[in-house]
Amino acid sequence: MDPPGGPSGWGSKAGPIVEGETRMRICCAADLHGHLPEVPECDLLLLGGDLVPLDAHAPAKGRAWLDTTFRSWLEAIPAGTTIVGVAGNHDFVFQEGRATFADPLRWTYLQDSGTSHRGLSIWGTPWQPRFFDWAFNLDEDDLAAKWALIPEATDVLLLHGPPYGHGDPTPRGPAGSPGLLRRIEAVRPRLVVAGHIHSGYGVYTIGPTTLANCSLLDEDYRFRNRPILIELSDEGIAADFGPL
């Protein structure tokens, strides 16, 4: 496991676009807990769950926030940016199936499902190992069925919980799923995006795969970290990230 800084170093700057080169800017953010950041110029915005505020765990409150504050934030993002997201363990409104609207939100929500963007295959799943009675919790044996759904041809894997040993430190030891780590090692996506463990913010590598834990809040739920900006090109991946 690489320490935070991974393939590009803490706070590194992705290079300029080279004319004729295939390059995509991807902005990654998770664990917003109601804090809606300024989004830098990008082609693709990936949201890794724990979206609703701490006082909006009740599905009715979460739904009202999504339909007002979150909707306005999404609509203010430039039209050229594609937005894809998953839920997290604080997002009970999605687990209860109450996050759909007659006027759809301006994003693609993934729950054990996929989409594509400019030729990239994206798979999203909100599950993580069981922890008390939060949303989208499963025991490790049951998680295996969710990880088996991840297609072999996945380019970008959008998660809430990180895999075991990568961006998942806690005082009790790594909190991630060992089965998820094995599936990532088998599928070898170019990019994995997660959050959930706030202290794991940073960029890591798993073989050829880059993993970004893009939790915006620290362990005390203070808004401390910038969204992680990934530049994906024919030559590889560069990351720009760090504290506010």
Instruction: Flag whether 40 is in a domain.
Output: yes
For 91, what's the count of Cα atoms within 13 Å in the CB-facing half-sphere? 30
Instruction: Flag whether 18 is in a domain.
Output: no
Residue 108, number of CB atoms within 10 A of its CB: 17
Instruction: Flag whether 41 is in a domain.
Output: yes
- Is 104 exposed, middle or buried, given 0-12, 13-18 or 19+ CB atoms closer than 10 A? exposed
Spatial neighbors of 30 by CB under 8 A, at least 6 apart, are 47, 48, 49, 50, 88, 160, 193, 194, 195, 196, 213, 214, 215, 216
Q: What is the mean pLDDT of residues 228-232?
A: 97
Tell me the per-residue pLDDT of 56-101, one tens digit each, with 9 for 90 and over. 999 999 999 999 999 999 999 999 999 999 999 999 999 999 999 9
Question: Do residues 234 and 119 lie in contact, with contact meaning Cβ atoms separated by under 8 Å?
Answer: no
Domain range enclosing 191: 23-240
Q: What is the mean pLDDT of residues 176-196?
A: 98
Instruction: Flag whether 84 is in a domain.
Output: yes
How many domains does the chain contain in total? 1
Instruction: Flag whether 2 is in a domain.
Output: no
Instruction: Flag whether 67 is in a domain.
Output: yes
Position with higher pLDDT, 18 vs 126: 126
Spatial neighbors of 51 by CB under 8 A, at least 6 apart, are 32, 33, 34, 66, 70, 85, 87, 88, 90, 91
Question: Do residues 56 and 240 lie in contact, with contact meaning Cβ atoms separated by under 8 Å?
Answer: no
Task: Kindly state the percentage of the chain with pLDDT values over 90.
Answer: 89
Question: Do residues 91 and 126 lie in contact, with contact meaning Cβ atoms separated by under 8 Å?
Answer: yes
Residue 201: predicted pLDDT: 98
Q: What is the mean pLDDT of residues 150-157?
A: 98
Residue 131: predicted pLDDT: 85
Task: Tell me, yes or no, if the pTM score tops 0.75.
Answer: yes
- Residue 128: which CATH number? 3.60.21.10
Instruction: Flag whether 14 is in a domain.
Output: no
Spatial neighbors of 229 by CB under 8 A, at least 6 apart, are 14, 25, 26, 27, 28, 40, 42, 239, 240, 241
Rounded distance, CA 217 to CA 195, Å? 10
> Closest Cα partner for 214 from 156, 137, 159?
159
Place of tokens 């991946």: 237
In a 3-state reduction of DSSP, which class is residue 69?
Answer: helix
Question: Do residues 176 and 168 lie in contact, with contact meaning Cβ atoms separated by under 8 Å?
Answer: yes
Tell me the per-residue pLDDT of 158-174, one tens digit each, with 9 for 90 and over. 999 999 999 999 999 99
Rounded distance, CA 152 to CA 57, Å? 34
Instruction: Flag whether 160 is in a domain.
Output: yes
Residue 243: predicted pLDDT: 97
